[in-house]
Amino acid sequence: MTIWLSAGILFTFFCIGCILFKWGNIRCIGVTPVSTFTFIAILFTSGLDVGLIMFPLTEFAGYADIATNPEYAFTNPLAIEFGYWAFLIWGFYFLTCFYFCIIEPKVQFFAIPIIRFSNNFVIIGTCAFTAYLLLSNLPWYIPQLANEGALTASLYLIVLLVITTAVYSSTDIRYVRLLSLGSTWLFFALIGLTWAGALLTSEGNTGEFLQTFSLLNGYFANIHQFVLPLNDYHEFYLYWWFAWSIMIGQFTARFVGGMRTYQVFLAMLIFPSIPIAIWFVGLYYYHLNELNISDWLNGLMVAVGILFVVNSLDSLIRLYTDNLNLTIKSVGKIPYFAGNLLVLSGLTLLFTLDFLQIQWVGAVVIGLMFSCLLFILLTRLKIVNEISGSPEQNILNFSEMEQQK
Q: Find out whether 145 and 154 touch, Cβ atoms under 8 Å.
A: yes
Q: Classify residue 383 by its DSSP letter.
A: H
Q: Find out whether 245 and 23 touch, Cβ atoms under 8 Å.
A: no
pLDDT of residue 130: 83
Residues 364-382 as b/e (b if ≥16 CB within 10 A, e otherwise) read bbbebbeebeebbeeebee
| Segment 79-108 mean pLDDT | 95
Q: What number of CA atoms fall less than 13 Å from residue 207's CA on the CB side?
A: 0
Residue 263 in this model has a pLDDT that exceeds 70: yes
pLDDT of residue 202: 65
- Give the H or E element holding residue 28: strand 27-29
- Higher pLDDT: 210 or 27? It is 27
Residue 383 in this model has a pLDDT that exceeds 80: yes
Residue among 309, 324, 315 at smallest CA distance from 249:
315
CA distance 164 to 159: 9
Where do the domains of the chain lie?
28-404
Residue among 13, 129, 76 at smallest CA distance from 287:
76
Q: Write the CA distances from 107 to 12, 17, 104, integer angstroms.
A: 18, 20, 5
- Higher pLDDT: 400 or 227? It is 227
| Segment 129-149 mean pLDDT | 80
Q: What is the pLDDT of residues 278-327, one digit of tens each?
A: 999 999 998 888 887 777 888 888 888 888 888 778 877 887 888 888 88
CA dihedral 272, 278, 280, 282 (to 10 degrees): -160
Q: What is the pLDDT of residues 210-224, one digit of tens each?
A: 888 999 999 999 999
Q: How confident is the model at residue 107 (pLDDT cuts 50, 70, 90)?
A: very high
Report the percentage of the chain scoring pLDDT > 90: 42
Q: How confident is the model at residue 129 (pLDDT cuts 50, 70, 90)?
A: confident
By mean pLDDT, which of 64-68, 164-168, 322-326, 369-373 is the weakest?
322-326
CA distance 213 to 219: 11
pLDDT of residue 14: 96
Q: Write the CA distances from 52 to 10, 62, 105, 337, integer angstroms.
A: 25, 16, 33, 28
Q: Find out whether 238 and 85 touch, Cβ atoms under 8 Å.
A: no
Q: Find out whether 12 and 95 touch, Cβ atoms under 8 Å.
A: yes
Q: What number of CA atoms fall less than 13 Å from residue 382's CA on the CB side?
A: 1
Q: Find out whether 225 and 74 touch, Cβ atoms under 8 Å.
A: yes
CA distance 402 to 159: 41
The identity of residue 302, as a single letter, is V
pLDDT of residue 238: 95
Could you tell me the end-to-end alpha-carbon distance of the chain, in angstroms, rounded to an integer?
A: 50
pLDDT of residue 402: 66
pLDDT of residue 379: 95
Q: What is the pLDDT of residues 280-290, one digit of tens each?
A: 999 999 888 88
Provide the β-strand partners of residue 150.
Answer: 147
Residue 204 in this model has a pLDDT that exceeds 70: no
Cα-only R_g, the chain = 21
**For the chain, percent helix, then strand, then coil, each to nearest 5?**
80, 0, 20
Provide the β-strand partners of residue 257.
Answer: 29
Q: Find out whether 293 and 286 touch, Cβ atoms under 8 Å.
A: yes
pLDDT of residue 149: 65
Q: What is the pLDDT of residues 323-363, one digit of tens each?
A: 888 888 888 888 998 998 998 888 888 888 776 688 888 99
Residues 267-294 as b/e (b if ≥16 CB within 10 A, e otherwise) read bbbebbbebbbebbbbbbbbbbeeeebe
Q: How confident is the model at residue 367 (pLDDT cuts 50, 70, 90)?
A: very high
| Segment 366-377 mean pLDDT | 96
Answer yes or no: CATH 1.10.4160 is held by domain 28-404: yes
Q: How confident is the model at residue 90 (pLDDT cuts 50, 70, 90)?
A: very high
Q: How confident is the model at residue 198 (pLDDT cuts 50, 70, 90)?
A: confident
Q: What is the mean pLDDT of the chain?
A: 87
Where do the DSSP E strands lie in 218-330?
Answer: 257-260
Residue among 79, 87, 47, 41 at smallest CA distance from 63:
79
- Higher pLDDT: 369 or 146? It is 369
Residue 106 in this model has a pLDDT that exceeds 80: yes
